[in-house]
Amino acid sequence: MKGRAIRFIAGTVLRESLRRREIYVLVLVACGLIAVILGFDFFGIGGLTKFYREASLKVMGWTTAFAVIVLATRQLPREMENRTIYPLLARPIRRVEFLLGKLVGVLLAGLFCFALFMLIFLLGSLRIQATVPWGLFLQHMYLQLAMLAILSALGFLLSLVVHTDAAITICVLLYALSAVLATVLVHLYAYMDAVGRVLLQILTYAVPQLTLFDLSAKAVHAEAWSPLSWQIMLSLTVYAVVYTGVYFAGAFVLFRRRAL
């Protein structure tokens, strides 16, 4: 495995993300949200500010997730449609290195976007002298990145199975329904027979529980919450690594012998 090849391909993905205008539109959205936060504080509605900080943190998470899903699902189909893949794979690199480079690149772009959001959020919060619970806040950032890794790998896998638009839709649905699904599955479990319960368990493990990676509410209402223990953080890291690994392995199996 050549780290050099992965680095070059990841650098290209990052460069593309930074040179396209989408990312700046996202930053403008963040700036708008912060402006509203400051606006609420200006009128002295302290309680609403807290609610709004939580909402804006969530919106920033959703926006980054959406950006990463779109970026990941478009990578391989666009390389094949534009035939830019030929000069790349004509080099002495393996397809797994190519795929890993793409994954790392998408994650770096996601990290850049998310870090930019968080910076703006922090500046806004500090401006209105809101308390920033650094422990929970940093844990939230870390877990969001772990979730982006799962979404990226899933995006790659789906883009090799279905059309790009369908892959984006499925990814977004899985992400959006993740919170609802977890609750629904728990409720349904009580009403199911043995076979139904097995099916629900399969579904529980087949679909990643992405809400586990969202600490936005805790990071804002910090007076009621302590930072997560290292054991929980480790478990969540393993959880993310397993799902990312499984989806990535699936993508590699499909891409390894694909005719180009």
Partner 1 sequence: MSEAVIAVSDLSVTYGRGGRTVHAVDGISFTVSEGECVGFIGVNGAGKSTTLKTLMGFLFATSGEALVWGQPAGTPESRLRIGYLPEVALYYPFMKARELLELYGGLSGLDKALLRDRIPEVLAMVGLAGKGEILLKQFSKGMQQRLGIAQSIIAEPDLFIFDELTSGLDPLGRHTLRTLLLGLKAQGKTIFFSSHELVEVESLCDRVLIIHQGRILRDATVAALRAEGGTRGLEGFFIDLIGAAGGPQA
Residues in contact with partner 1 by CB under 8 A are 4-5, 8-9, 11-12, 15-16, 19-20, 82-84, 86-94, 257, 259-260
- Give the residue with the Cβ less far from partner 1, 85 or 130: 85
> Closest separation between CB of residue 200 and partner 1, Å?
38
> Closest separation between CB of residue 74 and partner 1, Å?
13
- Give the residue with the Cβ less far from partner 1, 194 or 259: 259
The contacts of residue 59 (CB under 8 Å, 6+ apart) are: 29, 33
> Closest separation between CB of residue 112 and partner 1, Å?
15
Length of the chain: 260
Q: What six digits make up the tokens of 100?
A: 């890993």
- Give the residue with the Cβ less far from partner 1, 9 or 215: 9
Tokens 């990643």 belong to residue:
208
SS3 91: coil
Please state the three-class secondary structure of 151-208 as a single string: HHHHHHHHHCCCCHHHHHHHHHHHHHHHHHHHHHHHHHHHHCCHHHHHHHHHHHHHCC
Q: What six digits make up the tokens of 220?
A: 């804002």
In the chain, what is the greatest distance between 2 CA atoms, to the nearest angstrom?
62
Residue 66: C-alpha distances to residues 16, 72, 95, 175, 185 (Å): 17, 10, 26, 9, 24
- Give the residue with the Cβ less far from partner 1, 19 or 187: 19
Q: 116: how many CB neighbours lie within 10 A of its CB?
A: 17
- Give the residue with the Cβ less far from partner 1, 9 or 145: 9
> Closest separation between CB of residue 257 and partner 1, Å?
6
- Give the residue with the Cβ less far from partner 1, 61 or 105: 105
> Closest separation between CB of residue 125 and partner 1, Å?
34
> Closest separation between CB of residue 1 and partner 1, Å?
11
| 8 A C-beta contact, residue 5 and residue 98 | yes
> Closest separation between CB of residue 97 and partner 1, Å?
9
- Give the residue with the Cβ less far from partner 1, 6 or 215: 6
